[in-house]
Chain A
Amino acid sequence: KQEVTQIPAALSVPEGENLVLNCSFTDSAIYNLQWFRQDPGKGLTSLLLIQSSQREQTSGRLNASLDKSSGRSTLYIAASQPGDSATYLCAGLTGGGNKLTFGTGTQLKVEL
């Protein structure tokens, strides 16, 4: 059974700081790994998708990496802004491609 863990559970940083969010998973036979953002009371917004054959993906100030052998993914946020404040979730797709297992999330607060 796939288990996904995210560290830290909460993080508070000053504006402008670069930061790394960590995601670890137990089953390396994942099809892809996806990072999402969730604002309070809202649904999930997809940020980045890394296929199992890929090592990383970049979008603007975001960079996500995937290391299947170690069961880890990281989300790097450069030059953080208050608008980045949200909960960040990683999720791995396994089990024949039909189950996205979510991590517990990292609640990020970027302060002025």
Chain B
Amino acid sequence: GAGVSQSPSNKVTEKGKDVELRCDPISGHTALYWYRQSLGQGLEFLIYFQGNSAPDKSGLPSDRFSAERTGGSVSTLTIQRTQQEDSAVYLCASSLLGTGDGELFFGEGSRLTVL
């Protein structure tokens, strides 16, 4: 695609429900990142995928968070048993090279509100 696409753009859910956020990276980009931006705070790294290598999950805040990337393309971030503190904008980015040479391109984000 022309850019990184994320869906849904907005999601309102009740505390305790599970949510799935989707990211469709730029075609051909081997690296994919998830970040979280909470109100009034900076961007927080969550997880990184690079090709067929094992993902770097070191930024996931708890075991309620998980992510997968199927076929080296689309990625899904899943949050189980959502809590109010999970409310944030979840941003996905992709890069042609994940070795520090590549420029990161971000999607518009998925705004999650947990009531």
**Measured between alpha carbons, how far is A52 from B100 in the docked complex, in Å?**
9
Contact across chains for B106 and A102 when beta carbons are under 8 A apart: no
Tell which of A10-18, A42-50, A77-85 binds the partner.
Answer: A42-50
A98 and B101 in contact (CB under 8 A), knowing A42-B108, A44-B91? no
Contact across chains for B100 and A97 when beta carbons are under 8 A apart: yes
Size band of the interface chain A makes with B: 20 to 34
The smallest C-beta distance from B82 to any residue of chain A, in angstroms, reads 21
Contact across chains for B91 and A43 when beta carbons are under 8 A apart: yes
**Interface residue? A64 (CB, 8 A):** no
Q: Which residue of B lies closest to A52 (CB)?
A: B100
Interface, chain A (partner B; CB < 8 A): 31-32, 34, 36, 42-46, 49, 51-52, 89, 91, 93, 97-105
